[in-house]
Structure 1
Amino acid sequence: MASGALAEDIRHKLGELSPAERKVARVLLAGYPAAGFETVAVLAERAAVSAPTVIRFANRLGYRGFPDFQAALRAELDERNASPLSLYSSAGFGPPPEGTDTESALLRHGSEVFTSAVTATLAELPPHDFEHAVRLLADGKRRITLVGGRFTHLLAQYLGLHLMQLRDDVRFLPDRDVERTAVLAALTRRDVMVVFDYRRYEDDKTTMSSLVQGQGGKVVLFTDTWLSPAAAHAEVVLPSQVSAPSPYDSLVPTLAVLETVVAGVMGTLGEEARRRMQHGEDIARRAGLY
């Protein structure tokens, strides 16, 4: 599955395209994003259509021509590969002018940015994917393994620690190579791997997702709106906005999704979850942990 906002737009509009335009769309999706940077003549030849068909395809997507489509694709790739440092430079973050009431302005801006991002994230989540994620995570016959990245390992731990209180067979992918290899080698059809991967995507997340899929397991992917390459191997993809008042991508919208997922798992497990929580509380008291 090609990953990216433009790829998603192309997929959504397949039904509106003519048969010849659909050939162009399929060639683009099969080779996304590289195929989008071919010349009109090369793309037309690969799709076995005329050059004007390629141009009409771009027009059908809302672009003035194929160069306009390529400019949008280039901008998407720039966003996908953005780092905090590049965002710091391009977005004008830095010391404010002297005398500026920065604290109150920043609080207002933060409120607007986070409110908008959380609202948009929850509104845009595909209900089917959300429900499927809840079903997979609540299925007691499945074993859950969670893995995150540079910052998103915090999200993996947050979700995992909640799930551990609600059900059995929840673990984190180990850090050490020998242990990690053993876990990956033992994956079967009963396994669900929950993967967190956001822009400046990490290659190992895509590799692990492919391994899980190849061994018959399921991948639940939490990612941004540009979609991690691991989406090609995921059973469920839950994208979140990452807008923030700083050059760092925000994890706040994803946290809102996680807490909603936890609520869904609790609702699905019902009394079973309550009994599990009660048992955990009893054991913790006897062990002097709480």
Structure 2
Amino acid sequence: MTFLPFEEILRRKYDELSPGQKKAADHLMNNLEASSYGTLAAISREAGVSETTIIRLSGTLGFRGYSDMQSRIRDQILLSGRRRGNPDEEGASDGSPFERSIEREMDILRQMKNELDPGLLMQVAKRIAEADQIAVIGTRTAGAAADWLAMTLGCWRERVLSVPPDGDKYRALLDLTGRSAAIAISFPRYARATQRFAEGAKKAGATLVAVTDSPLSPIGRIADFTLLTRKNRDETGLDSIASVISLLNLMVIGVSLQGKEEGTRRLQRLEAICSDRGDRLE
């Protein structure tokens, strides 16, 4: 049986929820597995809301009651093998800080693999391949991921722009149409510049693809397509974007499958240009 993912149900209804219901929804999303078997009393206590609020939340989401909502969550976990534990704890080790960082990264990648929706990825890839142009934006560490994606997609197709979040980002909105696609990469702490550009792209009619950590993130709530992963906060206290790049690479693979011959010719022309200019050391 195919279910609409619980996260997607929440995303579609999130703006209709009361502040208390949003607090409960956030708790359910961040503790999905525990919520599949916890009692109503325990979950209301942990979420810091009343039992009535959670019951009303289930009704707003279209369920017959709390038990019906919990059953949907449980079925989804059983069908997908999903485990939303804390990757920082799953890979705990007494090894060196380098080993611990690698283990956390591997846990995040394993979780991403378990949650992977190939059908969704192919939908995103098809829309990107068919777009008249693509704008990619991200800020801070997400900006590095955005630059990588724009460069890589630009090898496969024309008219791919990396939008400077601190520069003249609004000028990039001028050329967006209903046939365009905008890819916004946004993780905590969510950048206002990325959000504003994404809102402008939606207003222009472009398809918005969000790469983020939750369908309930600011960018996830307004996106047409949402691809999820987590960043790894390592020993430095800063975020590694290895898992983000891995997810973006899956998107590029999907795009390459949409127009392999044209993409290959484009790569060959690029290689010839670089060779003619003597840009290669070997």
Tell me which interval the TM-score lies in, with the shorter structure as reference length.
Answer: 0.5 to 0.7
Matched, 1:64 2:47: no
Q: Give RMSD over aligned pairs.
A: 3.4
How does the TM-score come out when normalised to structure 2? 0.68
One of 116, 121, 124 as aligned partner of 2:112: 121
What is the Cα deviation at residue 176 of structure 1? Answer: 6.0
Distance 1:107 1:198 in 2: 23
Structure of greater relative contact order (alpha carbons < 8 Å, 6+ residues apart): 1
Q: Which residue of 2 aligns with 1:230?
A: 219
Change (3 A) 1:186 1:264: closer
Distance 1:35 1:145 in 2: 34
Q: Which residue of 1 aligns with 2:251?
A: 261
One of 185, 195, 202 as aligned partner of 1:196: 185
Distance 1:107 1:130 in 2: 31
* Aligned counterparts, 1:153-168, within 5 A: 153-168=143-158
Contact map agreement 2:138 2:186 (CA 8 A) in 1: yes
**SS of 2:96's equivalent?**
helix
Matched, 1:170 2:128: no
Q: Which residue of 2 aligns with 1:31?
A: 17
What is the Cα deviation at residue 259 of structure 1? Answer: 1.8
List per-residue Cα deviations over 1:19-67 (Å, max 9, x = no partner). xxxxxx96x75136554469xxxxxxxxxxxxxxxxxxx9997432574
One of 197, 201, 210 as aligned partner of 1:221: 210
Q: Which residue of 1 aligns with 2:172?
A: 183
Percent identity over the alignment?
21
Q: Which residue of 1 aligns with 2:7?
A: 8
Distance 2:140 2:127 in 1: 25
List per-residue Cα deviations over 1:267-289 (Å, max 9, x = no partner). 22111111110011112222333
List per-residue Cα deviations over 1:196-225 (Å, max 9, x = no partner). 100111122222222211211111111113
**SS of 1:152's equivalent?**
helix
Change (3 A) 1:241 1:63: farther
One of 123, 129, 148 as aligned partner of 1:138: 129
Change (3 A) 1:149 1:33: farther
Q: Which residue of 2 aligns with 1:21?
A: none
Change (3 A) 1:63 1:173: same
> Considering only CA atoms, is the larger Rg found in Structure 1 or Structure 2?
1
Distance 1:229 1:255 in 2: 21
Q: Which moved more, 1:256-265 or 1:268-277?
A: 256-265
Gaps of 5+ in 2: 25-34, 51-87, 89-93
